[in-house]
Amino acid sequence: MWNKDNIPDLTGKTAIVTGGNSGIGYEMAKNMALSGANVIIAGRDSVRIAEAAANINAEGGNGKVSSMVLNLDSLQQVKQFAGKFLRDYSQLDILINNAGVMMPPQSLTEDGYELQFGTNFLGHFVLVANLFDIITTTPQARVVTLSSGAYKWVRGIDYDNLRLEKPYDPMREYGTSKLAGLLFALHLQRKFIRIGSTARSYAAHPGIVRTALQRYLEPTVLNAYENVMEPWQGALPALYAAVSKDLGNEGYYGPDGDKELTGYPGPAFINDIAGDEGLAEELWHYASLQTGYHF
């Protein structure tokens, strides 16, 4: 049973957690900092991310937490965040692509994409593109992208509906964004292997956790589940993927309990669609053409 007590000494490591000011992201940032890492909490609200950093620093530990503004629904602001990070830091050992939105009212990003696809996937794609060189030159760096069991709600990526061309279905669009994140994470690892990099890319999902992510859902939705985890436990699969020394060259991790809803970190199910290299390459090509980032 892997838990936060298994996190190794991270002294000297630099980490970024997107959406690290609340929920499972906060727990990821806190536990890495308490284990010695220098952690950057990246989020869109400058006040909230600064407060989160101060609260974690007040708990002690050998690491230090700072904050930087990152608005994932603006690709230009993602580029600006990366530029500032590259000016201030010379290594990036851990990047956790955690921030996201879940079934919000119908809306578009600044660049005209459906909000969930644009924020959960495309913003993180551009973030990794801008940080690719520092990731691949930092020995044994890791990129962890948060997905969800919701990726199984869809049977592929509908490229004719990524800008709300069709009537909005919040569940379908959320599932699409999480399938895209999983396809991306697995394919990024293939890219690392092909170029001979020591970097590793993994995916993770938290299971059923009560956080602000569900703020757009009816309060009774989570009541349908017998056990709903607290954020500290939901953060464990991503932490496991980010720091465990026992992982192979690829993987997707989540809770090890029934239907991967609760429990402690273990391998998660990858269906044929998520594991399809051709579909992943198609998505990568689409994202590259849309954003102008070919990496």
Domain ranges in the chain are 11-291
| Whether the Cβ atoms of residue 39 and residue 19 lie closer than 8 Å to each other | no
Look up 174 and say whether it is catalytic.
yes
Task: Give the per-residue pLDDT at 3.
Answer: 94
How many Cα atoms are found within 13 Å in the side-chain-facing hemisphere of 154? Answer: 23
Give the burial class of 141: count Cβ atoms within 10 A of its Cβ; 0-12 exposed, 13-18 middle, 19 or more buried.
buried
Q: Residue 204's beta-bridge partner residues?
A: 146, 253
| Whether the Cβ atoms of residue 177 and residue 117 lie closer than 8 Å to each other | yes
Looking at the structure, give the CATH architecture of the domain made up of residues 11-291. Answer: 3-Layer(aba) Sandwich (3.40)
Q: Which two tokens stand for residue 182?
A: 């999983």
Task: Give the per-residue pLDDT at 209.
Answer: 86
CA angle 105, 280, 192 (to 5 degrees): 115
Task: Give the per-residue pLDDT at 225.
Answer: 54
Give φ, ψ of 3 to 5 degrees.
Answer: -145, -170
Residue 187 CA to residue 26 CA, distance in Å, equals 27
Which residue among 26, 113, 151, 174 is the active-site one?
A: 174
- For the chain, which residues score pLDDT lower than 70? 211-226
